[in-house]
Amino acid sequence: MKNYDNVVIFDHPLIKHKIAILRDEKTSMKEFRELVEEITTLMTYESLKEGIPTTEIQVQTPLEKCTQTVVKDNSVVIVPILRAGLGMVNGVHVLFPSARVGHIGMYRDEETLEPQSYYCKLPVGIEDTLVLLVDPMLATGGSACDAIQLLKSKGCKHIKFMAIIGAPEGVSKVAEAHPDVDIYVSTLDRCLNENGYILPGLGDAGDRLFGTK
């Protein structure tokens, strides 16, 4: 895959270790859910290194008064792409408990692999916040591209997208369609199979998170 200025692939040994367990078909639903949360927390720490709106406040320590930088109230909104993105919300909330949450519902048509949008509920004022769009799987890139387009149509100007596993096809598609969006992927897999599943991947993230199969 080509290098893109707006794409960061983490390849961190601790994240890789957790992803190895996540992939294992023998990993239970409970452990799968916990690992998705843990990986998301690690990703959030890095992804939000830059771009969070901050402000300065005065703090009186026991010794003197000083100026300190804090995160602005109501400045970050988490937007999971339903369903599987829901599994990542708590992982962001661990670091950012006050972040509000919007929801975008999308599923892939099994025949065409085209994303079908079925729900959208976003917090008031989202256009002035940093939006952290989350979905564990970036396969063809169709769902992420459409979700980003939807956010932009609602006025969002500052969007970051986090996926745990990305296929080269999907990463390229989103990076090229939305060069103004920062894309963070924990690990880049080999390719997609004929059904649009990521290889080696982890199977269907929604089914594994929610036990639907």
Is 99 or 167 the residue whose CB approaches ligand PRP more closely? 167
User: In this chain, which stretch among 16-24, 58-66, 67-75, 204-212 interacts with ligand PRP, using CB under 6 A?
Assistant: 204-212
Nearest to 140 by CA among 181, 160, 99, 110: 110
Site pattern 84..103 for ligand PRP (x: CB under 6 A) = x-------------------
Task: By CB under 6 A, tell whether 137 contacts ligand URA.
Answer: yes
101 pairs with which residues across the strands?
Answer: 78
**Exposure string (b/e) for 161-190, b if CB count within 10 Å is 16 or more?**
bbbbbbbbbbbbbbbeebeebbbbbbbbbe
User: In this chain, which stretch among 40-48, 106-114, 154-162, 178-186 interacts with ligand PRP, using CB under 6 A?
Assistant: 106-114
Count other C-beta atoms under 10 Å from residue 12's C-beta: 16
197 binds, among ligand URA, ligand PRP, none (CB under 5 to 8 A by kind): ligand URA
Task: By CB under 6 A, tell whether 141 contacts ligand PRP.
Answer: yes
Rounded to an integer, what distance in angstroms lies between the CA atom of residue 150 and that of residue 47? 22
Task: By CB under 6 A, tell whether 87 contacts ligand URA.
Answer: no
Among 80, 102, 115, 201, binds ligand PRP (CB under 6 A): 115
Task: By CB under 6 A, tell whether 196 contacts ligand PRP.
Answer: yes
User: Least distance from C-beta 208 to ligand PRP, angstroms?
Assistant: 10
91 binds, among ligand URA, ligand PRP, none (CB under 5 to 8 A by kind): none
3-class DSSP state of 24: coil
Annotated catalytic sites, by residue?
A: 108, 112, 204, 207
Chain contacts with ligand URA (rule: CB under 6 A): 84, 137, 139, 196-198, 201, 204-206
